[in-house]
Structure 1
């Protein structure tokens, strides 16, 4: 094989192309973004990502409502704890 012949050029192109394919295969297998022909990146899509986001949003809204209710209850308990004794006793009886 001569170093200046077309076989050498074709061999270099084939080795480069094979390296690119192996590199993308390894990256895809481990979850890294893939590289296209012009060195751009293509992120690996997650089909369950939209559902996970929706579930987390719903849970966040539920917990925010629960926190606001607990804050209201704590405010009532603080008011009962800091009020005079007779007024506190009357409020406790009203709550029963």
Structure 2
């Protein structure tokens, strides 16, 4: 996750489709398929509005059940706990 956080642009929003294997507290292996919506604080308003309008279209096209909005690199590095349901 740290490599992914390092690759993200500092001022442009992005959609990231993530399939991440993890082991739940019960010991069961799961591979959730989620959409990460990277929306950095310092992106310009036009880009922000364009991406905000496309979130639902991207979610339905990719057929993901969960969209997680991330604003900082720390949100990306802590994504495993969010995927395990510890929002």
TM-score, normalised via structure 1 length: 0.20
Asked which structure has the greater RCO (Cα within 8 Å, sep 6+), the reply is 2
- Higher gyration radius (CA): 1
Relative to its length, the structure with more strand (as a share) is 2
More helix by share: 1
